[in-house]
Amino acid sequence: MAPRRIVVLGGSGFVGSALVARLAANGDELVVPARRRDRARHLILLPTVDVVEADIHDPAALAGLVRGAAAVVNLVGILNESGRDTFAHVHAGLARNVVAACRSAGVRRLLHMSALNADPSGPSRYLASKGEAESSVTASGLAWTVFRPSVIFGPGDSFLTLFARLAHMMPVIALAAPDARFQPVYVGDVVAAFERALATPATEGQRYDLCGPKVYTLRELVRWASETSGAVRPIVPLRGGLATLQAFVLEHLPGKLMSRDNLASMSRDNVCGCPFPPVFGIEPAALEAVAPSWLAPEALRDKYDAARSTTGR
Ligand SMILES: NC(=O)c1ccc[n+]([C@@H]2O[C@H](COP(=O)([O-])OP(=O)(O)OC[C@H]3O[C@@H](n4cnc5c(N)ncnc54)[C@H](OP(=O)(O)O)[C@@H]3O)[C@@H](O)[C@H]2O)c1
State whether the beta carbon of 85 lies less than 6 angstroms from ligand 1.
yes
CATH class of the 5-149 domain in this structure: alpha beta
pLDDT recorded at residue 164: 92
Query: Which ligand 1 atom minimizes the distance to the CA of 35?
Result: 40
- Could you state, in order of their start, the residue ranges of all structural domains in the chain? 5-149
How confident is the prediction along the chain (313 residues), in pLDDT tens digits per residue? 667 999 999 999 999 999 999 999 999 999 999 999 888 999 999 999 999 999 999 999 999 999 999 999 999 999 999 999 999 999 999 999 999 999 999 999 999 999 999 999 999 999 999 999 999 999 999 999 999 999 999 998 988 998 998 899 999 999 999 999 999 999 999 999 999 999 999 999 999 999 999 999 999 999 999 999 999 999 999 999 999 999 999 999 988 889 999 999 999 999 998 999 999 999 999 999 999 999 988 876 666 555 555 444 4
Ligand 1, atom 44: closest residue by C-alpha? 77
Q: How far is the CA of 142 from the centre of ligand 1 (A)?
A: 23
State whether the beta carbon of 115 lies less than 6 angstroms from ligand 1.
yes
Q: How far is the CA of 14 from the centre of ligand 1 (A)?
A: 7
How crowded is residue 206: how many other Cβ atoms within 10 Å of its Cβ? 15
pTM: 0.95
pLDDT recorded at residue 311: 42
Ligand 1, atom 11: closest residue by C-alpha? 75
Q: How far is the CA of 121 from the centre of ligand 1 (A)?
A: 22
